[in-house]
Chains A and B, each alone.
Chain A
Amino acid sequence: MGIISQTIRAVGGFAIAAVMAGPAAAQTTTGVTDDEILIGIFAPLSGALTAYGTDPTNAARAWFNDVNEKGGIHGRQIRYIVEDDKCTPAEAGAIARKFINVDRVFAMLGGSCSGATVSIQELVNQEQIPHFMLNASGDAGVYPPTKYQFGAAPGTQRATLAAVMSYAIDDLGAKTVGVLGPEDEMGTAALRMIHAVAEKRGVEVVANEIVPNNATDVTVPVLNVQSANPDVIILTTYAPPTTLVMKKIVEFGLVDKPIISAIQGVSSTDAFLASLDGDTTGLKNFYYAHPLVGETMDDPGLKPFKDLMVKHFPDRPNPGIMGAYGFPHAMAIVHALEAAGPGLTREKFMEAIEKTNFESGVMAAPTVFNPERRDSLRGQVIVKFDGETVTHAGGPYLWDEIVDPSYFD
């Protein structure tokens, strides 16, 4: 055999090996075959918290379906398995282990409740399977960041309270604020950011009243805030106690005081108004933090996303606003899969996901992941709600531009 033919054979061999390298590498990565990528999705789809899971899950599925209809990613279709975690840590843990060990997924997208999603943090890091929270936003899941868990599509308490405090100080001229909120992990995280901004801007927190989630009588905390006479009242309460507080605020004639609620107090304006029995007296000067580009799924910014959901899930012709939270992390996964190229491996995916930076068109601020950052959304806007209309009041405010992240180290 001549030297030329040997060289041709050698080059040919290398070429074949190079061509084969992509699929061969992909085949060693679980959840990836030549024609599909397997994603495990979970959310509360039954029980008390179904409302938190159904629409966000449909949003993520609709996005993946749409990608598949357009030809998939580098010739691969996204296949997904959906499970119901009922928002309990036990179910979430069992589902995550099933996804990893039985279904052998490539990545997971799931969790609408912080407790359930944070509970699988150790598992996903140990197994090195990327997990993107669906619409859970617990600060504990992303601060401090861990390699394989990504979260905060709707923003953390840092994002929410940075927006709330900035608006209170810059637009409402607050020199003093009074806070009503729970003493749990979310309330504590919220209070930390309130103090961080207050310290930086020279604002005094003149009242910090505890309102537990199962509060029955909020007379004392509201009266204490009233006697402290803050310029602005800040609510970090969940929806049920927010209703109680707002009723007491009306009762004690505090309606002229500006009130700003964190995101968790107002799940939707319709629901919030219904919880107040339609009484708009307390909404004369009411604001709340908000992470989306629109207030309802029919707003021009969100309408195309609603249409996509309805196209794929016509049994839910009017998806709730929470559905929008299901899009950004599904989009982030697709972005990273595209960027990882045809020779998809988990390592390439992780490299790509850490360069994520895009405008989702859904959220008020860009969706960003980088090696030091696992909270995708850092910005929120403030809107004013008077019982009838919602108007943009300020923002977006990005928390890491307001308070140096090192403050929390």
Chain B
Amino acid sequence: MSTTLALVIISGIATGAIYSLIALSIVIVYKASDAVNFAAGEFTMVGAYIALFFIVSASLPYYLIFPIVAAATFILGGAFERLVVVPITNRTKGRENPLIPIVIATFGLSLMLTGFVRVFPYTEEVRSLPPLIRGAPIFVGGVPILLTDIAIVVVAVTAILGFWLFFSYTMLGKALQASSQNPRTAALSGIPVAKMRMIVWAIAGLMAGVSGMLVGPKLALTPNLGGIIMIAIAAAVIGGFSNLPGSILGGFIVGVVQNLIGYFFGSTTIAVAPFLIIMVVLLFRPQGLFGGPVHVKKV
């Protein structure tokens, strides 16, 4: 394999790790409430700006900023569920297409967050976050790998592993899974489903917020960063939308395939690559590469 091709793949893995986290954030909300959170990209953007604020104004190191970003976006996600999703759910109970108002509300939240951050400093011009780790690249077989790319993948994979362990081995995690899979049975088992849903939205906010910290050193930071959600949705579609490991792999696939398409077919194809991937997957395997059988559902 040529060095150039290796660099293309490595960079795709690093950006793919970030797409995975955002895709995961979208999928867990979808699993818990059947609605796609179109504001996930803006949670990423908010996370990045919170990090930027503390780096520029207080020169805080990443290890201190991480819990601040996590807490802020966790609260934001939970608050949105309590203040917007729950009232909408209560009002639309029994009506046709009750999910549409929630999805529209997430669109509203995305616009609100974009407008809101513009009030704050540092948003008038393009910014970026410092690398997670500074230092000379590591050479593997003559291919230079940036320390910050390694750090991004390590943090993203650690976060994904942490979430997996949390969902699989803790009581709260299992309760959250039960609430997502079968709310009625979960409620009969004494699980406070409403509270679980709030926690899912909060965790989803946290995931997207943390991805913002990772994306900040790699991408240019502007209030429009939320547009990254389209790529995360492509990752989720590849994974089957309700399949957590699938969406993680989907993120990596999009990151790498996007770059490979650009490498082999020219840079003009990079922008359309995620949409091409979505179309191909929906055409040949509508349930996604890792999803189960297709169920027709009226929405």
Give the B-binding residues of A (Cβ under 8 A).
47-48, 50-51, 183, 209-212, 214-217, 219-221, 223-224, 227, 239-244, 247, 251-252, 267-268, 271, 274-277
Q: Which residue of A lies closest to B124 (CB)?
A: A51
Contact for B223 among A48, A212, A274, CB less than 8 A = A48
Nearest CB of B to A19, in Å = 54
Asked if B259 contacts A243 (CB within 8 A), the reply is no
Asked if A212 contacts B271 (CB within 8 A), the reply is yes
Cα–Cα distance between A209 and B266 once the two chains are bound (Å): 8
Cα–Cα distance between A239 and B220 once the two chains are bound (Å): 9
Asked if B262 contacts A220 (CB within 8 A), the reply is yes
Q: Does B125 contact A (CB under 8 A)?
A: yes
Note all chain A residues with C-beta closer than 8 A to B217.
277
Nearest CB of A to B110, in Å = 14
Nearest CB of A to B117, in Å = 10
Note all chain B residues with C-beta closer than 8 A to A242.
126
Q: Does B88 contact A (CB under 8 A)?
A: no
| Total contacts A-B at CB 8 Å | 93
Q: Which residue of B lies closest to A239 (CB)?
A: B126
Pairs across A and B, CB under 8 Å, 17 listed: A47-B118, A48-B223, A51-B124, A212-B271, A217-B15, A220-B8, A223-B8, A239-B125, A239-B220, A240-B126, A241-B220, A251-B137, A252-B7, A274-B122, A275-B127, A275-B220, A277-B129
Asked if A211 contacts B267 (CB within 8 A), the reply is yes
Asked if A274 contacts B271 (CB within 8 A), the reply is no
Give the A-binding residues of B (Cβ under 8 A).
4, 7-8, 11-12, 15, 118, 122, 124-131, 137, 146, 217-220, 222-224, 227-228, 231, 255, 258-259, 262-263, 266-268, 270-271
Note all chain B residues with C-beta closer than 8 A to A276.
128
Note all chain B residues with C-beta closer than 8 A to A268.
125
Note all chain B residues with C-beta closer than 8 A to A50.
124
Nearest CB of B to A267, in Å = 7
Asked if A274 contacts B127 (CB within 8 A), the reply is yes
User: What would 19 more interface pairs be, CB under 8 Å, given A219-B12, A240-B222, A277-B131?
Assistant: A210-B268, A214-B224, A217-B255, A217-B258, A217-B259, A219-B11, A220-B259, A220-B270, A221-B262, A221-B270, A223-B7, A224-B267, A239-B220, A240-B126, A244-B219, A271-B125, A271-B126, A274-B127, A277-B130
Contact for A216 among B118, B122, B228, B266, CB less than 8 A = B228
Cα–Cα distance between A353 and B258 once the two chains are bound (Å): 51
Contact for A209 among B125, B224, B267, CB less than 8 A = B267
Asked if B219 contacts A216 (CB within 8 A), the reply is yes
Note all chain B residues with C-beta closer than 8 A to A251.
137, 146
Note all chain B residues with C-beta closer than 8 A to A240.
126, 220, 222
Asked if A277 contacts B128 (CB within 8 A), the reply is yes
Asked if A217 contacts B128 (CB within 8 A), the reply is no
Asked if B128 contacts A243 (CB within 8 A), the reply is yes
Note all chain B residues with C-beta closer than 8 A to A223.
4, 7-8, 263
Nearest CB of B to A212, in Å = 4
Cα–Cα distance between A385 and B212 once the two chains are bound (Å): 30
Q: Which residue of B lies closest to A208 (CB)?
A: B267
Q: Which residue of B lies closest to A245 (CB)?
A: B220
Note all chain B residues with C-beta closer than 8 A to A239.
125-126, 220
Asked if B126 contacts A215 (CB within 8 A), the reply is no
Nearest CB of A to B130, in Å = 5
Nearest CB of A to B298, in Å = 34
Cα–Cα distance between A252 and B137 once the two chains are bound (Å): 10
Nearest CB of A to B114, in Å = 8
Contact for A210 among B129, B218, B259, B267, CB less than 8 A = B267
Nearest CB of B to A341, in Å = 43
